[in-house]
Amino acid sequence: MSRRTDDRKTRKPARPSSGRSTQPTLADERSAAQAGAAERKAAAQARLDERFGDDTPGSALIVASWVAAAAVTLTGLAGWAFGGPFEIAALIVSLVLFFAGMVICTIGFVVAASRSRRDQLDLGRLALLTGVAPRRVRNSLFGALVVQIIGGLVPAIATKGLELDFGTLVPLVGVGLIFWWGAAYGDFPPRPELAR
């Protein structure tokens, strides 16, 4: 065995210097990232406040979402409590709202497709309205969606018949209206090639 190989085996690793390293630690990087995220969030909120202010565009879409929530909840509860013709009424309302939801989703898609020619749309922010809609709009649209889900699900679970099960299809209206609002009124940046 050569002496060179023996030296490699017996050599101890070098000790780190006693001075502090100039490289940032993981905690430093994390705090810098959190500070940057907080700054970006504050800037986005300021941009939304400047763009929308106290104005709420698309309020008809918000009202329509709450009307659908009230309709499915009230007819579902009436069908559950009284049965008979009220169950049939709940079935009809649920099917009408489901088919309306399909039309609304299609309209939202068409509006998004036409707007994507001039603005840089992002599907995640379009569907969840994060960073593109004021908080009051997000809360209202998603609140109506939650009421539609609960209003359709509770009567469906509580009864043995199938008439009230169709209420679980109604939240398609809420999803479609969220998508339509984001496509029509969301604050998206212009496409880079058009911004020049």
The helix-helix angle for 85-115 and 59-82 (nearest 10°) equals 160
Distance CA 170, CA 63 (A): 15
Percent of residues in the chain assigned helix, strand, coil, to nearest 5:
75, 0, 25
State which residues form the domain around 86.
55-195
- Structurally, the chain folds into a number of domains equal to 1
For the chain, where are the E strands, in sequence order?
A: none
Task: Give the total residue count for the chain.
Answer: 196
- Whether residue 12 is contained in a domain is answered as no
pLDDT averages per 10-residue partition of the chain, 196 residues: 55 56 82 84 81 88 98 97 95 98 98 95 93 93 98 94 94 98 94 73
The predicted structure's pLDDT at residue 16: 56
- Whether residue 27 is contained in a domain is answered as no
Question: Are the beta carbons of 140 and 56 closer than 8 angstroms?
Answer: no
- Whether residue 61 is contained in a domain is answered as yes
The predicted structure's pLDDT at residue 161: 84
Q: Which residues contact 101 (CB under 8 A, 6 or more apart)?
A: 169, 170, 171, 172, 173, 174, 175, 176
The predicted structure's pLDDT at residue 12: 57
CA atoms within 13 A on the CB side of 190: 6
Distance CA 170, CA 148 (A): 7
The predicted structure's pLDDT at residue 10: 58
The predicted structure's pLDDT at residue 127: 93
Residues facing residue 127 across a β-bridge:
none
Burial class of residue 66, CB neighbours in 10 A (0-12, 13-18, 19+): middle
